[in-house]
Amino acid sequence: MGVTEDLADALAQDAIAAADELGDDRLIEEVAEALGATSSTTQEAFMTSVRVRLAERRARRLLEQRRAAGRGGG
């Protein structure tokens, strides 16, 4: 990845963790808005990283649920 993508991805990871910690999903949107005020390119990279990471999280949860059900745990 390039510097923009690397920085945006690191920020996305931090924003997701902070939103989880604070119970505030709006925080991610606020960070994106702050980025967009100065760099739409960075904002786009940030939002892409957020979407990819949250989608992966949802997919992993589904996979774990299905595996647990297959083992008789759910």
Whole-structure pTM value? 0.88
Phi, psi of 40, deg, nearest 5: -65, -30
Domain interval for residue 24: 3-70
Predicted confidence (pLDDT) at residue 74 exceeds the cutoff of 70:
no
Domain count along the chain: 1
Predicted confidence (pLDDT) at residue 19 exceeds the cutoff of 90:
yes
Contacts of 28 (CB under 8 A, 6+ apart): 15, 16, 19, 50
* Predicted pLDDT of residue 27: 98
Q: What is the DSSP string of 1-51?
A: --HHHHHHHHHHHHHHHHHHHHT-THHHHHHHHHHHTT-HHHHHHHHHHHH
* Predicted pLDDT of residue 72: 85
Q: What is the pLDDT of residues 21-61, one digit of tens each?
A: 999 999 999 999 999 999 999 999 999 999 999 999 999 99
* Predicted pLDDT of residue 62: 97
Residue 24 in tokens = 């505030």
